Amino acid sequence: MRYPSASHLLTVICFFSLAGCSPQKYSEKFQEGLVYCSESDPLSMNPQLDTSTTTADATAHQIYDRLLEFDTETGRIQPSLASEWSVSEDGLIYRFTLRPDVVFHSTTYFTPTRPFNASDVVFSFNRWRLTEHPFHRVSGGYYPYFESLGLASNIADIRQISSNEIEIALFQRDSSFLANIASDFSVILSAEYADYLMSMGTPEELDEFPIGTGPYQYQSYKKDHYIRYNANPSYWRGQPDGNTLIFDITPKSSLRLAKLMTGECDAIAFPARVDHEIIRERDDLVLAEKAGLNIGFWAFNTERPPFDNPDVRKALAYAIDKNTLLEAVYFDSATRARSLLPAASWAYQADADDTGYNPVLARKLLDNAGVPPGFTMNVWAIPVERAYNPNAKKMAELIQNYLAEIEVNVNIVSYDWTTFRRLLREGNHDSVLIGWSADNGDPDNFYRPLLEVRKALYLQANQLIFEKLPLVPIAHAYRYQAYRKELNGMIINPFGGVRLGGVTKPRD
């Protein structure tokens, strides 16, 4: 059994002394609602614009719906806003029949005059796929999920057949197409709301004050504090059990645990590994566990010398001991990664080539590549907890020590999450500790967004990764969800953001 550090316990105890060790604040004020302790602020209120778990958790399944969705137990694609669909024999034409009588949110800032229809689907897809669309460049014009897949370039046309039927034509067959439009990011927006905002001269509010068809509707947001939602009384699956949903933004994992234990939060994001035994030993808490569809890795900026040299990347990979990283950072809650795909994937390759710990070979490769002793590089560490890397700073420090043994100096770099993502996208890093959580079970969801070179056969792709080493696969982590025992319907979603629409709790 592993125990938390003294400083960790002190933080929890200090919080208890302030909290009074009893349900407080939200559980009293919003006792007929649900309180979820999130780890950080979302980048946007529209997951089309961001691929982070934080944004997906706060928006994808609370505010919005998609045409299709995944069954969280089987991974099968099932109807959502589309009640049924068909595919042509050549695999190029997809026709969707839309669910009738679905209504968009009515809020203080917008009241719809019509139900959801085909024009909303056409608008939502055309916004991210057409650069000339009037909303494409609103909020920056960057749609990372769709761009990483090249999805827009394979859609030949999307057209409205009738008010409740649409047709999407592809240039080439794509076995992952349905899975991609069932992902967290393929949300359906209100075309009527967009037209209204454009006429008011405030199109950016589409992504700041959201309107969707999901179980909860946005009410207010105070950065670094909370997001408040009201239950959607007209939700097509039935109104959520409570009247409100609160995302309590609590960056420190120890404080999230304390709030969970006192009842101030009903569920928490990313319970820290050192807290798992504490949670398991309490009768009033549940720690759910599921094998994760994710990969934590150390990636190199292959456009920046000397990291454009595969031998340099190999040297750095041989300099680290993955097993020690797993033990020190994941606390036995992850498996060693040999490739991008976890064992849960049907394309998993158990005998894929892997790098081992060999500092002598590492130094030799650097010498042959002309990298002198004393060379300095940076390692960027994500500033937020993720299942695929729960403590990137600690991992960076371990890598720093390993590289010192081969006479490479490491500067550890981090910023706030928003700045980190922006600078990373601009390519200002030498290397970065980051990862990927799959949005569906298809192997393409790991390979397409992460690699510059695609191969049709996954085994060839694994060999190519080993030979060129643009990134070092480190771990496939288990996913955990901690919540109070009285909650019903709280499940781990292996294919994306947390789903709270069907979660209930007893009322006083």
Q: pLDDT at position 18, please?
A: 39
Q: pLDDT at position 397, please?
A: 97
Which of these, 236, 476, 487, lies nearest to 348 by C-alpha position?
A: 476
Q: Any residues with CB less than 8 A from the CB of 278 and at least 6 apart, and which?
A: 4, 257
55 contacts 44 by C-beta, under 8 angstroms = yes
476 contacts 337 by C-beta, under 8 angstroms = yes
Q: Consecutive sets of 10 residues in the chain, 508 residues long: mean pLDDT of each? A: 39 41 44 87 95 92 96 86 96 97 97 98 98 97 90 96 98 91 95 98 98 98 96 94 92 95 95 90 93 86 95 96 91 83 71 89 96 97 88 95 97 91 90 82 58 51 76 85 94 86 85
DSSP H or E stretch at residue 11: helix 6-19
SS3 34: strand
Q: pLDDT at position 335, please?
A: 85
**Angle at CA 24, nearest 5°, toward 20 and 25?**
135
Q: pLDDT at position 493, please?
A: 83
Q: What are residue 20's phi and psi, to 5 degrees?
A: 80, 10
Alpha helices in 106-217 (DSSP H): 118-129, 144-149, 151-154, 177-181, 191-200
How far lies 67's CA from each of 46, 210, 347, in Å?
16, 18, 26
Q: Which residues pair with 220 in a beta bridge?
A: 228
Q: pLDDT at position 482, please?
A: 96
Give CA torsion, residues 244, 245, 251, 256, to 10 deg. 90
Measured from the Cβ of residue 225, the count of other Cβ atoms closer than 10 Å reads 12
Q: For the whole model, what pTM was predicted?
A: 0.73
What is the Cα–Cα distance from 349 to 465, expressed in whole angstroms? Answer: 13
| Sign of the CA dihedral with 28 first, then 215, 62, and 44 last | negative
Q: pLDDT at position 340, please?
A: 81
Rg (CA), the chain: 23
Q: What are residue 196's phi and psi, to 5 degrees?
A: -65, -45
